[in-house]
Amino acid sequence: MTEKRIDITEPLWDQSTFVGRFRHFAFISNPLLSMASEKELYEAKELYFKYKEGKEPPNTQLTQVVRAKQLYESAFHPDSGELQNVFGRMSFQMPGGCLITGAMLQWYRTATAVVFWQWVNQSFNALVNYTNRNANSPLSTTQMGVAYISATSAAMATALTFKYGIQKRAKNPILARFVPFAAVAAANWVNIPLMRQNEIVLGLDVTDENGKIIGKSQIAPVKGISQVVTSRIIMCAPGMLLLPVIMEKIEPKAWMQRIKWAHIGIQTGIVGMFLTFMVPTACAIFPQKCKLSIDTIKRFEKDRYEEILKNTDGKPPEYVYFNKGL
C-alpha cells in the first residue's frame, strides 16, 4: 500500500473543534450505515484490525480502509468490540427517532396516546442506552429494570402532569403539542444517570493527556453524564419544539385539511430532516474526551486525589481526561 497511512484508531478530523467533531459523528451516525449486512460489518472489522496491525492485504486502498473504519465504529462497541443491536446504534437514531417522535407529535390529544407513545419512546431510549453502555461498568438485570421502569414512569408522570396541570389551564392550545418534549426531557434526566449508575458509584478511570490511567473519579462520570443528557435533549429539541409551531400554523390551511391522512407522514419527514442534522450536532457539542480539573478532584474527592498523587509521583497533571460516552 503506497498511500499515506492513517491512525485507524483515531478520528479523521480534529476533535478539538466543533466542526471536526461534527464531521466525525456525521461520519459514524450516517443512517445508511444501519442497513449494512452482518457479513459486510464483520469483513470491515477484520480489515480494521489487520490494518491496525499493518497486515492488510496487498493493494488495499485507503478508501477501503476508511470505509472499514466507518462501518466498524458505527456498529461495534468501543469497549467490548461486540456487534451492537442495530436498533441501538447511533446510525439508527434518525430513522428510529423520527418515527417515534413523529408519532408522539401526531397523537398527543388523549392521555392514552400520551402514555403509550412515551412508553414506546422510553423503551427505545433504554435500548439505545444499553447498547451504548460502558462495558467496563456493567449493570445487573435488576439495575437495568429499575432504570427502565423509573424513566418510563418519569416520562408518563411528566407528560400527564403537563397535560392536565398546565395545558388545561392555559388559553393557548399549542401548549398541548409541547407535552412530548417536556416528558422526553424529564425522562432523560432519569434514564441515562440510572443506566450509568455504576460509573458514579464505582468511579471512572481518568488519564493524563497521554492516555495513561492514573486513577479513578466519581465526579468525572457526573460531569460526563450531565453532558450526555444535555446533548440528548438538544438532539430532539428542534424537532419537538419547532415542529409544533409549524404544524399549528399550517394545519388549518385548506390544502392541509384535504390531506389529513398525510399529516403523520409530513411530521415524520420533517422530524427526520431535523434529526439527520441534529444527531451529529448534539454529539459534537461536547468533546468526547472530557477533561476535569485536578483541583476539583482535590476539593471533593480527597481519597481519589491521594491515589492520583501516588500514581504520578506527587506531580499530578493540571487536568485529567476520560471518555464521556454517548
Q: Which residues contact 153 (CB under 8 A, 6 or more apart)?
A: none
The answer to whether residue 195 is domain-embedded is no
Closest CA to 185 of 302, 66, 104, 286: 104
Does residue 197 lie in a domain region? no
DSSP state of 37: -
Asked, for residue 164, whether it belongs to a domain, the answer is: yes
Same domain as 283, residue 315:
yes
**Does 96 lie in the same domain as 49?**
no
What is the per-residue DSSP string for 11-35?
-SS-TTSHHHHHHHHHHH--GGGGG
Kindly state whether residues 245 and 276 are assigned to the same domain.
Answer: yes
pTM of the model: 0.82
- Best CA proximity match to 128, nearest among 215, 195, 64: 195
Q: Which long-range contacts (CB under 8 A, 24 or more apart) does 207-211 make?
A: 207/320, 207/321, 207/322, 208/312, 208/317, 208/320, 208/321, 209/317, 209/319, 209/321, 211/321
Structurally, the chain folds into a number of domains equal to 3
Q: Where are the alpha helices (DSSP H) in the chain?
A: 18-28, 38-52, 62-75, 93-106, 111-131, 141-161, 179-195, 197-202, 219-250, 254-257, 263-284, 294-300, 302-311
Judge if 57 and 102 occupy the same domain: no
Question: Do 307 and 212 belong together in one domain?
Answer: yes
Considering the domain architecture, whether residues 211 and 320 belong to the same structural domain is answered as yes
Q: Are residues 211 and 307 in the same domain?
A: yes
Cα–Cα distance measured from residue 325 to residue 280, given in angstroms and rounded to the nearest whole number: 14
Specify whether the CB–CB gap between 114 and 182 falls below 8 A.
Answer: no
The answer as to whether 131 is a domain residue is yes
- Greater confidence (141 vs 273) lies with 273
Q: Which cell goes with 226?
A: 450531565
Q: Which residue has the cell 407522514?
A: 265
Q: What is the mean pLDDT of residues 297-319?
A: 91
- Name which residue leads in pLDDT, 69 or 81: 69
**Does 38 map to a domain?**
yes
Q: Of 139-148, 150-159, 186-195, 217-226, which one has max mean pLDDT?
A: 217-226
Taking each helix axis from N to C end, the angle separating 93-106 and 219-250, rounded to the nearest 10 degrees, works out to 50
Instruction: Quick: pLDDT tens for 152-187.
Output: 787 778 777 776 776 666 666 666 677 778 777 887
In a domain, 312, yes or no: yes
Domain identity same for 248 and 319: yes
From 245, 92, 90, select the one nearest 181 (Cα to Cα). Answer: 245
Query: Can you give the residue range of the structural domain that contains 280?
Result: 203-325
Dist CA 299 CA 305 (whole Å): 9
**Is residue 11 assigned to a domain?**
no
The larger pLDDT score, comparing residue 306 to residue 122, is at 306
Q: Are 285 and 234 in contact (CB under 8 A)?
A: yes
Q: What is residue 1's predicted lDDT score, i.e. its pLDDT?
A: 45
Mean pLDDT of 134-147: 74
Residues 235 and 301 in one domain: yes
Q: What is the pLDDT of residue 135?
A: 64
Write the pLDDT tens digit of every residue in 93-125: 888 888 888 787 777 677 788 788 878 888 888
* Domain final position from 186, 211, 228: 186
Do 176 and 212 belong together in one domain? no
Within this chain, do residues 213 and 320 fall inside the same structural domain, yes or no?
yes
> Has residue 135 been placed in a domain?
yes
b/e map 14-40, b = 16+ CB within 10 Å? ebeeeebbbbbbbbbbbbebbebeeee
User: Are 107 and 172 in a shared domain?
Assistant: yes
Task: Report percent pLDDT > 90 for the chain.
Answer: 37
